[in-house]
Structure 1
């Protein structure tokens, strides 16, 4: 073989060897990443996939979801539902429904929220059914949302019933709304003493409207309270403090 041809074959052999080595290194790295992600909890994968849109974390979530894990289906659906992309929301709907069929209460709650969003998936009646399903399973946030939908539908008795469930789990908004209902006799018997207790419990959870309600009650001498301008000022001062510590969504 002429020297020129021999040199050319040698060069190409070296190039092929280098390419194969690079591919092997990439493959080992990818398998290593997958192996590392396999040990990461589903909750952590959801955080990484949602906050930073980590493609590998999203892929690992999808792998687990396709394997039938309800928690992964719910987590993947929740991540995709949080985007503005219509295709992502459509996929989110499928995964959340799959998790719901396995009895995942959080999936039912997320489905309810998804059905309240604008777009082709908007369906308030379905949202109410999803929230109710989750609430029956003990989900406090779903009970609150079901109560809010009942209020919107002008069904105060049903609203009070669902709000009472959320209030038992110490949801501050539910406590406040239930206090309003007890104060006005809206869906429940009128009971100012109960309303005061509920306002105070919501205020202890740093819910600003509850502090405002207490301030007005002290200022006007309502809910069985004597007029007390000092207590009214203290309650108003708590409003600013509470606004710095908003309640965590359940």
Structure 2
């Protein structure tokens, strides 16, 4: 009877979104999770993956709760399972486990899982490298309106021109240029690096540097670091030490004397 009462109280609090703000919240969640509540199991996973609370922070325990929630069909929990394995944050982690989690989530329509699955196919982590599968899953995400994934698709084309051909790389470059013109710093940074290196596109160092300067307005660390590297390697004229150090010191927070 006492357990039944505890279950009832916990269920009411969980439905009201108050479980994590009351005393004995962990016990209340465990009662619900033990009775089969996927929502409670997911909350426990979040509870133990919160690094701001040192007393309860335990990613292996978080994994077990996320796995329980995922077993009940919670796709967000399944994604967390994949992430914990992919980042090596838990004992006995494996890329294969991450791949299987992302695959299941992607096939069920979970967009972040689709993106992560494409990445794993592209890198060949947890599964044999399959560039066409990576392209297919990235494209699915792009078609759902996720513009940020367009960057990953472009990089796939830039890094593997032998698999996709120059036409797709050129198309990706034009799309990134459109986004850069609209003020997307990440697009400018991605295209700028590709142009400087001649990676998948015709090399155009000056245009690439111009794009990196644009990106530096909102993404200074990455842009300045790559600009500094460009000058240090002598890819442009006027290669002077003061200018090199000026670019390199910004993201690395070096104190110049």
Q: Which of 76, 83, 87 is residue 44 of structure 2 equivalent to? A: 76
Please give the secondary structure, in 1, of the residue aligned with 2:58.
helix
Q: What displacement does 1:133 show? A: 0.8
What TM-score do you get using the length of structure 2 for normalisation? 0.60
Q: Which of 89, 94, 112 is residue 82 of structure 2 equivalent to? A: 112
Do structure 1's residue 144 and structure 2's residue 115 form an aligned pair?
yes
Q: Which of 121, 138, 142 is residue 167 of structure 1 equivalent to? A: 142
Change (3 A) 1:59 1:115: same
Could you tell me which runs of 5 or more consecutive residues in structure 2 were left unpaired when the two chains were aligned. Answer: 1-8, 222-257
Change (3 A) 1:166 1:77: same
Q: Which of 147, 157, 161 is residue 182 of structure 1 equivalent to? A: 157
Change (3 A) 1:223 1:118: closer
Matches of 1:222 and 1:158, distance apart in 2: 21
Offset from partner CA, 1:119-173 (integer Å, 9 cap, x none): 4231110110001111112222212221222222143222222222233344455
Offset from partner CA, 1:40-88 (integer Å, 9 cap, x none): 32xx756x6xxxxx76443443333233222222232233244588993
Do structure 1's residue 95 and structure 2's residue 76 form an aligned pair?
no
Rg (Cα) greater in structure: 1
Q: What displacement does 1:176 show? A: 1.0
Change (3 A) 1:122 1:39: closer
Tell me if the contact between 1:173 and 1:202 (Cα under 8 Å) persists in the aligned partners: no
Answer 1 or 2: which has greater helix percent: 1
Tell me if the contact between 2:85 and 2:93 (Cα under 8 Å) persists in the aligned partners: yes
Paired residues, number? 203
Tell me if the contact between 1:173 and 1:207 (Cα under 8 Å) persists in the aligned partners: no
Q: Which residue of 2 aligns with 1:212?
A: 189
Change (3 A) 1:99 1:158: same
Q: Which of 217, 235, 240 is residue 240 of structure 1 equivalent to? A: 217
RMSD value, Cα? 4.2
